[in-house]
Each structure stands twice: as structure tokens, then as C-alpha cells.
Structure 1
Amino acid sequence: MKKIATLTLVTAMGLGLAACGETRNERALSGGLIGAGAGAVVGSAVSGGRASGALVGGALGAAGGAVVGANTRPERRREVCYGTNRYGERYRVPCRY
């Protein structure tokens, strides 16, 4: 029962932090760190508290998290921009950044 609670907690924390970073490198780094932490906890829990399980789990989690984080894209913010014509009426225009 303790293993299931640990796995559930780690999964919830990982999903909560999954959207960290805006650039590809930031997402790869945050995915790797989240994966390493989650993999170490899971590896330790599965191997009965051995350090070797934590090390293997951390390494696999870091590699997997970095790959997944680098290949995801954040949602684009949907901003609405308006312009005004010569009569004072507002209309939608493409946003410029």
C-alpha cells in the first residue's frame, strides 16, 4: 500500500510540473529533472529501498523526461488584439509581438 501511495504522489507532482518551460531547452531540462526525481523514487520503491534501483530509475527517468520534454510544445496564448477605424469602431487585428 505504501508503494502505491508513493507512486501516486510522485505521478501527481510530475504532472503538476509538466508544463514548466517555454523554450525547447527549458522543457528538456525541466522534463529531465522531473523524470530523474520520479524515476529515483519509483526505482527505490520497486527495488525495496536499494540505492542501485534509485540510480537506475533516476537515469532512465531523466533520459525519458528530457526526450519527452524537448518534443512537446506549450500552448499558444490566444490573445485578442483590436484596432480602431477612423469612425472609432473596434475590430479584431492580428497581434504583433
Structure 2
Amino acid sequence: MRTMKRFAVGTVTLVLAMGLAGCGGMSRQGKNTAIGAGVGAVGGAVLTGGSTLGTLGGAAVGGVVGHEASK
């Protein structure tokens, strides 16, 4: 089970990194929102042991923080 959770966290991290690579044409605020969501998702996954709810919650909180920090 631990191997599966580690694989899931690694997959989420890889997908987020690939998604951020496509942020070249985004505004500063959009980039900060995407980065915040990515960091929040990884943090939420780590803190909750790979829980889906923790990952999504972390992404939501991180996205809001990234969006508001760029104003």
C-alpha cells in the first residue's frame, strides 16, 4: 500500500510539473496561482499520506494563496 501511495504522489508531482511547463504565455497572477496549486497539492499529499482529499484540499488552498499573493 505504501508503494502505491508513493507512486500516486510521484505521478501527481510529475503531472503538475509538466502542466507548469506550459505556463509560458500566462500572466504573472496565473503563474502564481498554478504554482501555488502545485505546491499545495504536493504538500497536502505529503501531510495526509497521499489522501486524495488532502491533495485536492492542498491544491485549492495553494491556488488561492498564489492568486492572492500576486495582487
Supply the RMSD in Å over aligned alpha carbons. Answer: 2.2
For 1:29-52, what per-residue CA distance to the aligned partner results, in whole angstroms no more than 9, with x for missing partners?
A: 001000000000000000011010
Which ranges in structure 1 are unaligned for 5 or more consecutive residues?
1-19, 72-97
Which ranges in structure 2 are unaligned for 5 or more consecutive residues?
1-22
More strand by share: 1
Q: Taking structure 1 as the reference length, what is the TM-score of the superposition?
A: 0.46
Q: Taking structure 2 as the reference length, what is the TM-score of the superposition?
A: 0.62
Are the counterparts in 2 of residues 33 and 62 from structure 1 also a CA contact under 8 Å?
A: yes
Corresponding residue for 2:30?
Answer: 29
Task: Report the CA distance between 1:27 and its aligned residue.
Answer: 1.4
Are the counterparts in 2 of residues 27 and 66 from structure 1 also a CA contact under 8 Å?
A: no
> What is the one-letter code of the residue matched to 1:54?
T
Aligned length: 49
Aligned counterparts of 2:46 and 2:62: Cα–Cα separation in 1 = 14
Are the counterparts in 2 of residues 39 and 58 from structure 1 also a CA contact under 8 Å?
A: yes
Identity of aligned residues (%): 40
Task: Report the CA distance between 1:26 and its aligned residue.
Answer: 1.1
Aligned counterparts of 2:64 and 2:28: Cα–Cα separation in 1 = 13
Give every structure 1 segment of 4 or more consecutive aligned residues whose post-TM-superposition deviation is greater than 6 Å. Answer: none
1:1-97 equivalent positions in 2, closer than 5 A: 26-69=27-70, 71=71
